[in-house]
Structures are given as structure tokens and as C-alpha cells.
């Protein structure tokens, strides 16, 4: 199906040559810089760790796509490393309408959460009816028990 939809004109030769040149430059720069990095870092590793332990450093590579990718990997690593586990308090209760006998599920919504857009709650990792505030959760439970 794709072959039937080819454009009537030939590809732009200048654009094609520019793409080839870019690939060639990326390859040559990557090879040259990778060699330099490997040589420099292996010498540094040998001087710091000794020859036997530095054998792990066989090759260090560099390429134009690796730098932005490495940035994303580092940002994710920092985010995961800085994660702190916190206790989440969830109140689940229901109320019964005595006149109809119908039961209603109630959901706890703090003032703070009522003012936050749903997307912000989700991004913060908080579901509706949940809070990290233990004192607030206990106060709500006491008020429910009192009626």
C-alpha cells in the first residue's frame, strides 16, 4: 500500500547527502571521543584502583544521542533515590438513609484536596479519600463516631 502512495518527485538529493554527512560526522566523532574517553579513564582508573580492579573499565562510549538519554536516566535515578515512603491514611465509611434504607458510600475530602485539580492529586500520588495527615484522619474518625 505504501508503494502506491509514493510522491511523484524524486527525493531531494541535497537533503539526502546532508543526512549521510550528519551520520558520518556522528559516527566519526563518536569513535574518536569514545577512544579518548576510554584511554583517559582507564589510565585514571588504573592509577586510582590498581590494574587488576580497573579491568572492569574496558570501554566508555560517547555519542550525540547518549548525552540527552543519560540526562533522562539521571533525572529518573534522582527521583527514585529521593523517594520517601510515607504512610497513607484512608477513611472508608457509609451512611444509611433511614427513610429509604439506601446506603451511601462516603469519601473523605480534605479542604486542601478539594481545592486541588484532580490531575494535581494524581501527580502527587494521592487518591481521593486519602491523606498523609494522621492527625486529620484521626479527627475525622472521631467526628464520625460521635455522629
What tens-digit pLDDT sequence spans the chain (147 residues)? 677 777 777 788 999 999 999 999 989 998 998 899 888 888 887 788 777 776 676 777 888 877 788 889 999 999 999 988 888 888 777 888 888 989 888 777 665 666 667 677 667 666 666 777 788 888 878 887 886
DSSP string of the chain, one letter each residue: -TGGG--SSPP-HHHHHHHHHHHHHHHHHHHHHHHHHHHHHHHHHHHHH-TTGGGG-------TTHHHHHHHHHHHHHHHHT------EE-EEEEE-TTT--EEEEE---HHHHHS-HHHHHHTT--TTEES-HHHHHHHHHHHHH-
Kindly report the pTM of this predicted structure: 0.39
Amino acid at each position: 500500500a505504501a508503494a502506491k502512495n509514493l510522491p511523484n518527485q524524486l527525493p531531494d538529493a541535497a537533503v539526502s547527502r546532508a543526512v549521510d554527512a550528519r551520520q558520518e560526522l556522528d559516527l566519526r566523532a563518536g569513535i574518536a571521543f569514545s577512544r579518548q574517553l576510554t584511554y583517559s579513564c582507564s589510565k585514571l582508573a588504573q592509577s586510582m584502583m590498581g590494574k587488576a580492579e580497573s579491568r572492569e573499565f574496558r570501554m566508555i562510549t560517547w555519542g550525540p544521542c547518549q548525552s540527552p538519554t543519560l540526562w533522562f536516566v539521571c533525572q529518573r535515578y534522582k527521583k527514585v533515590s529521593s523517594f520517601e515512603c510515607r504512610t497513607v491514611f484512608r477513611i472508608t465509611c457509609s451512611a444509611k438513609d433511614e427513610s429509604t434504607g439506601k446506603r451511601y458510600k462516603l469519601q473523605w475530602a480534605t479542604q486542601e484536596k478539594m481545592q486541588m485539580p484532580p490531575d494535581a492529586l494524581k501527580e502527587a500520588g494521592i487518591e481521593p479519600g486519602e491523606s498523609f495527615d494522621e492527625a486529620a484522619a484521626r479527627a475525622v474518625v472521631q467526628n464520625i463516631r460521635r455522629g
